[in-house]
Each structure stands twice: as C-alpha cells, then as structure tokens.
C-alpha cells in the first residue's frame, strides 16, 4: 500500500512530497512468529532495494517479536513504514504492560532484547496512544540520520 508520508500530510508547503510505503503482517502468538516476521521484514527491504538495512532490521524485529511471544498471550502485528532514506518497524501486541529494559547478567541468555534493539537501531521507543486490540507497540528506525527527524511515534 502506498500512502503519503505522515510527516507531510498536513504540511502541503513542504517540497518535494515524499512517498511512504506501508506494509503490515499479523502473526499468531506462537514460536514461529519471530522467523515469519524476520522473513517478512527482510523481503520487504530487499524488494524496496534497501538490502543494507536487512541484517539490522531482521535482528531488531526478531528481538521484539520474541518479546511478544515470551511476555504476552496474543498475536503480534508488525507494521513497516518504508521511505527512500529510512525504515520504521513497529511491533504491536495485545498487552497494555510497557516493556521494561533491564541489564542482563553476564551469563544470562534472556533479558537482552531491548538492549540489542537500543544498540542496533538509530532510534527506538514505545507507542501506547493507539486504540483497539494492538494498543501498545515498540518501534525502531534505521537509516534515520538521513531523514533528519527526532524520536517520536505517530502510530
């Protein structure tokens, strides 16, 4: 689906008008979800000729979807906003509980997900102002330095 860049919908004086491509995927809350979502994100980026973002985007997506699988009972919704210079991936779930970043111990194999996202992505954050079943999500951006935009989610 192609849509106008949300940054420019209400600013007709801004030139040139950029396009944003939106992709969404719903997955059940089971162990297959991280792989399915990784493959989805990687395929979209390859199709949009953004191969240089695939490794980082699939790693971050896998961490966020794994968190949904481990910490909630429901499905995940992955939404991608792809612009020529950056990508934002948001992973929404059915839990109202906010994620809590923590420091994992040296020998722990869990509790690393948000730290991996923070270390890998240019920007990341949590959005909680959406209505409906998937009201809370964690998002990350890659390639953000060329876009010149700060932290903040518009959904």
The domain tally of the chain equals 1
Instruction: Decide if 105 is inside a domain.
Output: yes
Round the average pLDDT of the chain to a whole number and report it.
80
> Which CATH number do you get for residue 127?
3.30.565.10
CA nearest to 68, candidates 93, 89, 99, 31: 93
Q: What pTM, to 2 d.p., does this model score?
A: 0.76
For residue range 7-23, what is the model confidence (pLDDT) as tens digits?
554 444 444 556 899 99
Angle between helices 54-71 and 113-120 (to 10 degrees): 160
- Domain extent at residue 59: 20-145
CA nearest to 90, candidates 124, 119, 116: 124
Instruction: Decide if 12 is inside a domain.
Output: no
């Amino acid at each position: 689906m192609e849509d106008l860049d949300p940054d420019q919908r209400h600013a007709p004086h801004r030139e040139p008008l950029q396009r944003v491509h939106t992709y969404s995927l719903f997955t059940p809350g089971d162990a297959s979800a991280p792989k399915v979502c990784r493959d989805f994100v990687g395929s979209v980026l390859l199709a949009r000729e953004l191969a240089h973002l695939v490794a980082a985007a699939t790693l971050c997506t896998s961490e966020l979807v794994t968190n949904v699988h481990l910490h909630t009972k429901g499905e995940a919704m992955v939404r991608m906003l792809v612009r020529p210079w950056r990508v934002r991936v948001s992973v929404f779930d059915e839990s109202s509980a906010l994620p809590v970043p923590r420091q994992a111990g040296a020998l722990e194999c869990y509790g690393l997900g948000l730290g991996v996202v923070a270390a890998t992505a240019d920007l990341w954050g949590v959005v909680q102002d959406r209505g409906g079943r998937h009201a809370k999500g964690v998002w990350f951006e890659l390639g953000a330095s060329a876009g010149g935009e700060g932290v903040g989610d518009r959904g």
